[in-house]
Structure 1
Amino acid sequence: MSKHSDTSWKQDHPVSLLGNAVQRANRAVKQAMSHPDEQLVEQAQQSLTHAEQALENAIQFEEHMDMVQQNQEQLELMKQQLQQTQTFIEDQQ
């Protein structure tokens, strides 16, 4: 197996895809928190939904469950943070 295809496999592995999705969601949530705005909250929610789908795929793969668990915990924290941001926006209206 060539080095390139080994790298491609790692990038396409469900746990890698989950990690990438969680990182993108984390950036989106942080942006929504630092600039509370309905559009940014919606974008963060979409990123979280995508990350949750990646989580389900990674769980079904049944490998590297410690990493899956860490990402799941991080997702739960981000959902709480986004909910707080949504509440803040609603209170400002």
Structure 2
Amino acid sequence: MDQQTDMSWKEDQVIIQLHNSVENAEEAVRHARTNPVEERINEAFKKIETAERSCTNAIQSRGNSKPILELQETLAQSREKLKLLH
């Protein structure tokens, strides 16, 4: 595999991992909103923190590309929804 293809694949993987992490955080927030017990709220905060680390890694790896910024915005919205519960 040549270097350019290998780099493109790695960059795609970074976005996929970030997307999955943001989706996991969104799902945890939905669960916390439908059943706002402390355990679910804490789990949602943990998922958001994980997604934020994924965001940081993606930005370091790829820069502020449009897909990363969109996922970062989605994550910020999830955090705000969760803060309303806590």
* Alignment partners' CA distance in 1, 2:44 and 2:71: 16
1:25/1:44 contact within 8 Å kept? yes
Provide structure 1 residue ranges, at least 5 long, that are not aligned to the other structure. Answer: 87-93
Partner of 1:50 in structure 2? 50
* Alignment partners' CA distance in 2, 1:64 and 1:21: 17
Q: 1:64: Cα distance to partner?
A: 7.4
* Alignment partners' CA distance in 1, 2:85 and 2:60: 31
**1:20 partnered with 2:11:** no
**1:32 partnered with 2:22:** no
Structure-1-length-normalised TM-score = 0.77
Work out which of the two has the higher radius of gyration on C-alpha atoms and give 1 or 2.
1
Partner of 1:89 in structure 2? none
**1:66 partnered with 2:37:** no
Q: Share of identical aligned residues, percent?
A: 32
Q: Which runs of 4+ in 1 moved over 3 A?
A: none
What is the number of equivalent residue pairs in this alignment? 80
Structure-2-length-normalised TM-score = 0.83
Q: What value does the CA root-mean-square deviation take over the aligned residues? A: 2.1
* Alignment partners' CA distance in 2, 1:74 and 1:63: 17
Provide structure 2 residue ranges, at least 5 long, that are not aligned to the other structure. Answer: none
Aligned amino acid, residue 35 of structure 2: H
